[in-house]
Amino acid sequence: MGTVFRRLWYWVRQREIEYGLEEELEFHRALKQQELEAEGLSPEDARLTARRELGNVTRAREDSRAVWMWPWLETVWHDARYALRAVRRQPGFVLLSVVVLGVAIGLNASLFTVFAAAALRPMTGVAEPATLVVVSGRVPQIPDLLSGLSIPEFDVLAAEATTAELAAERRMPVRFDSGGGARDMTAAFVTGNYFELLGVHMEHGRGVLADEDTRGASVPVAVLSYSLWYTQFGADPAIVGRTVRVAGQPHTVIGVTSRAFAGSERSRVWLPLASLPVLRPGNTGLDRPQDCCAEVYARLRPGATRAQVATELQTLSDRFRRTVGQDVRPIVLTGTQALRGRRGDNQSLAIIGVLFLGIMMVLLLACANVGNLLLARAATRRGEIGVRLSLGAARSRVVRQLLTEGLILVLIAAAAGLAIAAWLPRFVMNTVARQPAPFDIGPDGLVFAYTAAIAGIACLAAALAPALHATRGGITATLKGDALSRSRVPLRSLLLGVQLALTVVLLTSAGLLLRGVAAARELDLGFRVEGVSEVAVELPEPDYDAERMRTFLADLSTALQSAGLTSVAFAAPGRATDEARLPGRGANQTSPVERLDVSSSYFALLDVPMTAGRSFTDRDRNPGAAVVNETFARRFWPGENAVGRSFVAENRTLEVIGVVRDARVLGLDPVPPSYFVPLTGPRGTLFPVLLLRSNQPSEAAAVTAVVERLEPRGRVTVTPMRNRFDFELAELALAPLAASVLGLFALGLATVGMFGAFAYAVRQRTREIGIRLALGARSADVVRSILSGNARVVALGLGVGLLGAAAVSQILRSLLFGLSPLDPLTYAGVALLLAAVAFVASYAPTRIALRVDAATTLRAE
């Protein structure tokens, strides 16, 4: 305690005390001189000897003062002032470093901003997110996949849980008509306590109330999202009370959610859960425990912990699932952040991870680059550093000084980086991905802290090695200015090698991804996509139940036939992931497969050849017949003939009547094991997609006419099937785009780095070059000697980089579409490109050195 006061006291009277210390030391010296004179030395000799024996006065003074300091405090201030002065003196150097580091830190902070917003930050626009959790069940067959709960299960949990209050939302597309034309959009059917439990911030009006969500007696009310209100209703302030049509039925608008509330997944309109069977006739979601899934939110009651809630819900869930005959499964509580372990979340995290790796490399590269710049600058400041050392500054003190200069650079760069992070993620989401983020993106305290940490690391990485290096070798060596070239592995070469290696890794990844997209473009789809159009037919929803759709399908087939449109086929829309096993095997020995419901003309229309057996025919109404693809046959009967074999899927036994070639009908990904069954009617509430092969637009018009004759309210959309793949290709192009930006930035940095390093090396050897030229060496020999020195560094960097790239490329395998991760063309191209850049970077400075007159060079020393 006392020491704190004494420190403060010293702080207040610092100047006085320091004069005192000086006087004290002078007194000491004087007495010593007296003593020496008494021993018989001349006054002059005594003065000198006393001074010598006194040792390093400055050091004594500095050390004495240091005792009183709070560690660093004062010196840091001095260093900062000194560094700022140094920074002002060299604006060009500072600008370059700040741009290089700023972009690297900015990219880093941007990615972290996205990551923090998606994976760390709870849902926005709700009250007290800390006590709000999401309740999910872990799907046993698929690792790390969480799914929601069925409504019947939710009902039991909500009624009986005592540690938390529960609310649910079930998302589903509905047709929404604001008066200016109908559109399909995602609706959230929510329980009556949803808005109150979440504490959703409202822009206008209120949320759904409990008495509006009575099963069997729901009230037709709707809550609009901010963006829907803004875009479709022109932000009408008198929106509450207006009438809109949802699935054809009038609903009263009761409120608009606030802009901050993103809902959990881009829902546009909220409706009472009880209205689900009214708006979607035939939907059994409220009654059947097999129907999945509702998103369930729980608000912890005061005093309850997550663990208590999880335990209670687990008990309730187990009991419920046993009574309805379902397997029990673990209940998992997660926060309300956007990425929380649902389908697709892990892929998103994996993409962020890979990007993070790349961006970290860029940061390292930037640090190595600025480190080299600092080193070059330290070299030109050898004299100054030497003087400071010889005047009694401790080495640690000088190192700290140089580190502070690095820190100032990094701080400016970090500020620039934060500015980038505030702008870039939103820009990318809005322009490149063309969709608003389902969460709020923006830097917050966490991003700030992360950026600060990254900046700290960057500072140490960039400035520490040069600072230690510059002060090495003691005073004499420093003053003579030659210690720098003495080290065995020159730090400059090392930093340059690191830059080159990282650049190779980034450029190779970019090259592989670019070639991967090209490979995907050339990919053999296994069927003929050109000339095929997908015709989507939408029927007025409340009037068409499953039975009426089936009739419509039969009528449409007949009508198309009689209209002479024979090149048509039907397929159930989307994909249905299913599980299959061999007969006699247990339920735990299943494999995930895809099921496609198609009409008999499907394979002929798409030009998918049969490799064995036959396809189904229209007469062939055997409900147990199935066609499988080659992958399916290989999975279950490797090396054997699959025709005539049977398998179990969806609780029935199916017999394989034929095998078709693998075709990427579902997309560019590798073909999954799939089986095809005859299309007997619609699946759920979605009408099958009609496939049409035609080269004349008139035929598409004819199909539309047929549909409209049968059902005037039906809507027909015709899209070339090719579009689906083009869309997927466009999405794929994002990864190479990101990688190319990083790669080119890296190449730019490496080029600047090499140029700087080689120019410096040549400058250091100007004298040697001068001597050689004076002694009659030919320019070519000199050039060769310089180039060979550089070539070693370049070759080493390239070599290490290519090895690193080979390792990293394994991660990218899934994005390469059959292209080898060791694609020789890419590696050779990158190596050649960098070698060429290196040659230019070292040749130019050499030419400049050669142009210098030998005599002038030598005299300059």
Taking the complex as a whole, the smallest distance from the CB of residue 476 to another protein amounts, in Å, to 20
Residues 6+ apart with CB under 8 A from 166: 135, 154, 157, 158, 197, 296, 297, 298, 299
Nearer to another protein, 28 or 381 (CB): 28
Q: How far is the CB of 81 from another protein (least distance, A)?
A: 22
- Which residue has tokens 């673990």? 330
* DSSP track, 465-499: HHHHHHTTTHHHHHHHT-GGGTSSS-HHHHHHHHH
Q: Which is nearer to another protein, 40 or 638 (CB)?
A: 40
Q: Which residues pair with 581 in a beta bridge?
A: 648
Q: Using the minimum distance from each CB to another protein, give the nearer residue, 60 or 733.
A: 60
CB closer to another protein out of 330 and 392: 392
Concatenated DSSP letters for 101-126? HHHHHHHHHHHHHHHIIIIISPPSSS
| Nearest CB to another protein, comparing residues 15 and 434 | 15
Query: Which three-class secondary structure state does DSSP give residue 610?
Result: strand
Identity of residue 842: S
**Are the CB atoms for 317 and 123 separated by under 8 Å?**
no
Tell me whether residue 33 or residue 509 sits nearer to another protein (CB atom).
33
What does the block give as tokens for 490? Answer: 């020159």
Distance CA 432, CA 407 (A): 34
Compute the least distance from the CB of residue 58 to another protein, in Å.
Answer: 9
- Residues 674 and 596: beta-carbon distance below 8 Å: yes
What DSSP letter does each residue of 3-41 carry, written as one string? HHHHHHHHHHTHHHHHHHHHHHHHHHHHHHHHHHHHTT-
The one-letter amino acid code at 215 reads R
Residues in the site for another protein, rule: CB under 8 A? 2-3, 6-7, 10, 20-21, 23-25, 27-28, 30-32, 54-57, 59-61, 63-68, 394
Is the distance from CB of 118 to CB of 337 less than 8 angstroms? Answer: yes
Task: Identify which of residues 50 and 663 has a Cβ nearer to another protein in the complex.
Answer: 50
Output 20 or 237, the one with its CB closest to another protein: 20
Cβ–Cβ under 8 Å, residues 579 and 592 = yes
Q: Which tokens hold the place of 827?
A: 């590696």
Return the SS3 of 535. Answer: strand
Output the smallest distance, CB 391 to another protein, in A: 14
CB nearer another protein, residue 57 or residue 536: 57
Shortest distance, position 35 Cβ to another protein, whole Å = 8
- Is beta strand 625-629 parallel, antiparallel or unpaired with respect to 715-720? unpaired
Q: What is the DSSP-derived secondary structure letter of residue 196?
A: H
* Identity of the residue, 399 or 496, whose beta carbon is nearer to another protein in the bound complex: 399
Counting runs of H as helices and runs of E as strands, what totals does the chain give?
28, 22
- Strand-pair partners of 578: 593
779-808 helix and 734-764 helix, angle to the nearest 10 degrees: 150
Compare residues 4 and 238 and give the one whose CB is closer to another protein: 4
For residue 204, what are its two tokens? 């206008």
- Beta carbon of residue 68, minimum distance to another protein (angstroms, whole number): 6
Tokens standing for residue 747: 């190449």
Taken as a whole, the chain contains a residue count of: 861
Do the bridges between strand 249-257 and strand 221-224 make them parallel or antiparallel, or are there none, so unpaired? Answer: parallel
The minimum distance between CB 371 and another protein, in angstroms, equals 28
Nearer to another protein, 26 or 543 (CB): 26
Nearer to another protein, 33 or 163 (CB): 33
Are 187 and 173 within 8 A, CB to CB?
Answer: yes
Rounded to the nearest whole angstrom, what is the least distance from the CB of residue 7 to another protein in the complex? 7
State the Cα–Cα distance between residues 255 and 234, nearest whole angstrom: 15
Least Cβ distance, residue 385 to another protein (angstroms): 20
> Is 237 or 474 the residue whose CB approaches another protein more closely?
474
Min. distance of Cβ 460 from another protein in angstroms?
A: 22
Structure tokens given for 702: 């004819």
Nearest to 293 by CA among 246, 343, 247, 220: 343
SS3 content of the chain, % helix, strand, coil (to 5): 55, 15, 30
The CB-of-14 to another protein minimum distance in angstroms stands at: 13
Q: Pairing mode, if any, of strands 249-257 and 202-205?
A: antiparallel
Choose between 10 and 755: whose C-beta lies nearer to another protein.
Answer: 10
Omega before 367 within 30 of 0, i.e. cis:
no
**What is the nearest approach in angstroms of another protein to the Cβ of residue 41?**
17
Q: How far is the CB of 19 from another protein (least distance, A)?
A: 11
- Residue 633: exposure state from Cβ atoms within 10 A (0-12, 13-18, ≥19): buried
Nearest residue (CB) to another protein, 51 versus 480: 51
* Inter-CA distances, 643 with 30, 225, 526, 629, Å: 111, 53, 21, 11
Shortest spacing between CB 456 and another protein, in angstroms: 25
Tell me the closest approach of the beta carbon of residue 397 to another protein, in angstroms: 10
Q: What is the closest distance, in whole angstroms, from the C-beta atom of residue 77 to another protein in the complex?
A: 19
**CB-nearer residue toward another protein: 62 or 728:** 62
Q: Would you put residue 200 in left (φ > 0), alpha (ψ -120 to 50) or beta?
A: beta
3-state SS record for 311-356 = HHHHHHHHHHHHHCCCCCCCEEEECCCCCCCCCCHHHHHHHHHHHH
Task: Write down the least CB distance from residue 305 to another protein, Å.
Answer: 48
Cβ 754 to another protein shortest distance, Å: 41
494, HSE (Cβ side, Cα atoms, 13 Å)? 11
The enclosing H or E element of 521 equals helix 491-522
485 — phi, psi (to 5°)?
Answer: -90, 5
Distance of CA 797 to the CA centre of its chain: 28
Which CB atom, from 47 or from 61, has the smaller least distance to another protein? 61
